[in-house]
Structure 1
Amino acid sequence: MVSETSATKQLRREQLRDFLRTRRASLTPGAVGVASVGTRRTPGLRREEVALLAGVGVSWYTWLEQGRDINVSAEVLEAIGRALQLTEPERAHLFVLAGLNPPPAHSVRATEVSPELRRLIDAWAPRPALLRDRYWNILAINRATRAAFGYDDDDHNCLVSFFTNARYRGCHVRWAQVAPTVVAAFRAEAAHLPGDPEFERVVAELSAVSAEFAELWARHDVASPTQAVKAVTHPEVGAMYFDTTTLAVIDHPCWYLELYNPQPGTGTQARLDKLLRAASAPSLVVTDLG
């Protein structure tokens, strides 16, 4: 966390106190499987009940709820979040108020793309757009992306396609020079979730079919994703150059929207329009009339 003044720290502790009290008051003993004993003068759970559910001492939890200056670990905050049945935004808020960086969201495997987001991706055409998750799995894609970069129905992960889709590789200018940076960026993302089974699955499956990837992965290089120019040489229309911008989807922090904008002065937009017109043209069907 960024260093803060004593006044700011005190304000944060007061907000933590109020937040924990209101979350505790919103729960009933029955909702968390605790037997209700005795007369309750206030609604919600008692402090000792939260402490029991979280596996922490009653005095320590009381100090935390009072906003005292005590050391708090991520593991204990996770336990308190579970005890209070916090939502993902509430869980992240708890970490911020306690002075810790929020961990990645638990619900990282959701893949249901909203109709609004799909319409946005389709509306970006005739420019390419692609939605992926933190594992680089493809969640949604528009027809311009398929036409310009060579994706087909068998492509489900950007990293896997980068190494195994022959058409994609054939189009990509300077593929060999870009490959180390691509792998280094994926490793940097994977480092945020060590031991995550989905990252391990992608790495294991790709290593089994691509010696090039396995060699680059073994280097342990890391790199940050950057705003870049994507250059392709399409077999039908020639060279195209795109400015690449990656945006985080605010209600799905582990989703990323990649937008490709044709560079002005390169003729890319005209070539892309020509490519999409050809892809949309109906195929000629020849009927044998005998």
Structure 2
Amino acid sequence: MTTTHTTAVRTVQARPRREDLRDFLRSRRARVMPEDVGLPGRGLRRTPGLRREEVATLAGIGVSWYTWLEQGRIIKVSDSVVESISRVLSLDAAERGYFYRLVGLNPPPAVGADTAPMPELVRLMDSWSPYPAYVLDRWWNYVLTNSSAQAVFGVPRKGQNCLVLFFTEPRYRYFFTNWSTLAPQVVADFRSAAASFPDDPRFTAIQSGLYERSPEFARLWDQHEVRAESNGTKAVVHPVMGEMTFDHLVMHPSTRQDLRVSVHLPRGSEGRHKLERLLSASGSASLMTEPRL
């Protein structure tokens, strides 16, 4: 159900990128002292840091090949080589991702994403009130919702899966006036999200379970559509307020790219007035659920 995070081998071709790669590798090599990697630090050295042949040897690659890479020549680079060089040069996560992009590869997703709560998101969502907002984890489970999202969309406080509810909860078929338009977009988005975590079995469990439960999901899944995550429109028929239309924005915190934050903005003054009346009647305009990220 998933694809690998990057094509195995790409060719470094763009001239400005090759120059950036050359300068980046030279600067990273210069800051690593021989003693840092278990090599003798004494003796005359014309340049600071490691020599090219030392980097190549420690990374387990050919000296000539590494020299060509650092010189910005047009050569093929694999992700395993990027990982080896990153280890030798002690690149941090940001530098490693930059290195991947310089050689034309997509960096793999972070392993073992932080699961600690993010109280900043609670405050952010509170500041968005009365606009409906919620947070999904990488598997599309609800981990944080505000009271407006609960009142408008009937989303759970936390724990349940957004994708599963969309395809198995009968009321959503009538609640979303554009359900048939949203459905293929939802599946394509989930397939793209799963591809970012190719070794995560929970994606497979969600997909296979829903495949058995929902013929509509199975049909759409078999089409193998993917798309870049984008904002959009949700038109609903609320049981109390009637028709309401929202423009929704999707964002990812810079330090937790696995989280999907969605906020919904009502269209027009009538939409805003309906939302205000609904929240006023429910008395829940500013209540927030407890985070469980």
Is the TM value for this pair above 0.5? yes
Q: How many matched pairs? A: 270
Moved over 6 A (4+): none
- Specify the alignment match of 1:36 in structure 2: 39
Checking the alignment, whether the CA contact within 8 Å between 2:34 and 2:50 is kept in structure 1 is yes
Give the partner amino acid of 2:272. Answer: Q
Checking the alignment, whether the CA contact within 8 Å between 1:150 and 1:167 is kept in structure 2 is no
Q: Aligned pair 1:190/2:191, yes or no? A: no
Mark the runs of 5 or more structure 1 residues left unpaired by the alignment: 1-5, 282-290
- Specify the alignment match of 1:273 in structure 2: 276
The Cα shift of 1:70 comes to 3.1
What per-residue deviation string (whole Å, max 9, x for no partner) do you get for residues 32-52 of structure 1?
xx4333625455444334323
User: How many Å separate the matches in 2 of 1:20 and 1:61?
Assistant: 10
Higher-Rg member (1/2): 1
What per-residue deviation string (whole Å, max 9, x for no partner) do you get for residues 119-141 of structure 1?
11221110112233454343432
User: How many Å separate the matches in 2 of 1:157 and 1:94?
Assistant: 35
User: How many Å separate the matches in 1 of 2:101 and 2:225?
Assistant: 31
User: How many Å separate the matches in 2 of 1:40 and 1:13?
Assistant: 32
Give the partner amino acid of 2:233. Answer: V
User: How many Å separate the matches in 2 of 1:62 and 1:261?
Assistant: 53
SS in 1 for 2:261: strand
Q: Aligned pair 1:59/2:39, yes or no? A: no
SS in 2 for 1:110: coil
The Cα shift of 1:191 comes to 4.1
Q: Aligned pair 1:159/2:163, yes or no? A: yes
Q: TM-score, normalised by structure 2?
A: 0.76
Q: TM-score, normalised by structure 1?
A: 0.77
Q: How does 1:87-126 map to 2 (within 5 A)?
A: 87-98=92-103, 100-107=104-111, 109-112=113-116, 114-126=118-130
Q: Which moved more, 1:153-162 or 1:230-239?
A: 153-162
The Cα shift of 1:269 comes to 2.0
Q: Greater RCO between the two (CA within 8 Å, min separation 6)?
A: 2
- Which of 219, 244, 257 is the equivalent residue of 2:261? 257
The Cα shift of 1:91 comes to 1.3
Q: CA RMSD in A?
A: 3.1
Relative to structure 1, the CA distance from residue 86 to residue 105 in structure 2 (aligned partners, 3 Å threshold; closer, same or farther) is: farther
